[in-house]
Chains A and B, each alone.
Chain A
Amino acid sequence: MSLIAILGAVETGLLFGLVALGVFISFRILDFPDLTVDGSLPLGAATAATLIVAGIDPYLATLAAMAAGAAAGLVTALLNVRLGILHLLASILTMISLHSINLRVMGKPNQALLGEATVFSPFEGLGLPFYWLTPLCLLLLLALVVWLVNRFLTSEIGLGMRATGANPRMAAAQGISTGRMKMLGIALSNALVGLAGALFAQIQGGADITMGVGVIVVGLAAVILGEAVLSTRTILLAAIGCVIGSILYRLAVAFALNAGFLGLQAQDLKLITAVLVVIAMSLPGLRRRWHGRRSNR
């Protein structure tokens, strides 16, 4: 595998590290299985791409993409908290609505960004080749986001959010408005995914209506891989684990696709991801059953 291919995998891994952090907040912190991300990633991409093409500053466009993601997350949380719709179903409803909304945002199924200035443009003068530049920028951004996520989740409000996911009855008894915490958390989670979508569009050179399919599974795979390689004792370790898990996942996929003897092709990616997640999620249970059977003998 060439250096450029490895750096490319790291770049995508870092980018989806943002998704993994979002999924970590919804699935792990709030215990809220949120599938909105399949819609909020393309929403972020579509918003940023459309605004940039319209001549808006790429940084402002990226911020707008984050706000759009947050709004999508807020809708899901409101459907659940205020209308009492099951969390999973609420997120699926938002996800399919976003398909229509994303088409409306772009006015067509895709929006190219060829030759437009992006958030990475100001750094191009530094003399680094592009395959080094983007991963480095993303690495710095991810370091900042991980720090912010950790700082937030260890704050008083963040601790209230963790209690909301871990023991909602106790949280309410301690004066935490669990409904508001869900709204804030799911909005934050999808803001991160919106940011990922905006950057993805700017790296890839455009937004596409189908780019969100299966994003939730990729994010979940990264979170689970991160938990496998790093301890989850502290929030900081767990957050770093999300990013590392995401990079490892991309590297594993790149190696699998590169290994010709396996006969795998790019279109098998989603199947591989799903199988990986199934294995990772069932392993602890299977291992326990196996040990139980052996000790019974």
Chain B
Amino acid sequence: MIEVEDLCVTFNVGSAIETRALRKLQLTIPAGQFVTVIGSNGAGKSTLLNVIAGEIRCDSGRILIDGRDVTHWSTARRSALVARVFQDPMAGSCENLTLEENLALASSRGARRGLGPAVNRDRHDEFQQRLAQLGLGLDNRLNDRMGLLSGGQRQAVSLVMATLNPMKILLLDEHTAALDPKTAAFVMELTERIVQDLSLTTMMVTHSMRQALDHGHRTLMLHEGRVVLDVEGDERRRMKVEDLLHMFEQVRGVALDDDKLLFG
């Protein structure tokens, strides 16, 4: 479960380009819910994910994961509760390490690292089995460098890495945006499968309205650092991409009106 209370983040405080990325954002996601997040550029989607992951510290507000206040925890400490797949396929893994070494890194997430060998027989077999489930033929390439894989393959491996160890929440930051449509569909299907199998509490940021409505249980729209739309259940099932698009334009229109009021 994720609880976000009155979250405020401001970039470049005190300068001409001061931006209020999140403005008293409120959000509660119950355990096991799969939430998709949409919004225009600069709406605060990525900032929200980065704040939850600990990469950006908030100015005020609180973040609770399963009731534990993690607001002042470092990224590394939060990693025991939070797993993540990045938008850039290069960002989620080390290209100069082998697949096996990358998986080994991920399988120590949330655990104490010791001086024992990072790769061993048990882990090797487990990794092989997990990669075989992808059906990409990667199970025989454990000793290949990560850099030799295609973007789609790397994202698939990143998903496996994220789910090797137990976690409380899974954060997906436009993780199919950099892929071609076919690969994106495959990675999305894989995501759906993993999230369902492990009934993970998931937040997925996406640019695609189609993707936002087709996957998960609930959809949020962010605008100027606030939640402006929050739909689930029947209401969401009836919703079409056009409706979402319409609302999207409405919200932006409202913002324009606000400016007119300010300057008019």
Contacts and interface: CB of A to CB of B under 8 A. Distances in A.
Interface of A: 152, 154-160, 162-163, 166-167, 169-178
Interface stretch (B32-40, B76-84, B187-195): B76-84
Given A155-B114, A156-B108, A177 B74 contact: yes
B94 A175 contact: no
**Nearest 9 Cβ contacts at the A-B interface:** A175-B79, A156-B113, A159-B118, A166-B94, A172-B75, A175-B109, A155-B115, A177-B76, A156-B118
B114 A159 contact: no
Contact of B101 (A152, A159, A175, A178): A159
B80 A155 contact: no
Contact of B110 (A156, A166, A171, A175): A175
25 contacts: A156-B104, A156-B108, A156-B113, A156-B116, A157-B113, A157-B115, A159-B101, A159-B104, A160-B105, A160-B113, A163-B94, A169-B55, A170-B91, A170-B92, A170-B94, A172-B55, A172-B79, A173-B75, A174-B106, A174-B109, A174-B161, A175-B76, A175-B108, A176-B76, A177-B76
A105 B86 CA distance: 50
Nearest to A167: B94
Interface string B61-90: 000000000000011110110011010000
A175 B78 CA distance: 7
Interface in B88-126: 91-97, 101, 104-106, 108-111, 113-119
A169 B117 CA distance: 23
B118 A155 contact: yes
B131 interface: no
B119 A154 contact: yes
Nearest to A152: B115
B179 interface: no
A157 B113 CA distance: 6
Nearest to B79: A175
Contacts of B93: 167, 170
Given A154-B117, A173-B84, 14 more contacts: A156-B114, A157-B113, A169-B91, A170-B86, A170-B91, A171-B105, A172-B76, A173-B92, A174-B79, A174-B161, A175-B79, A175-B111, A176-B76, A177-B74
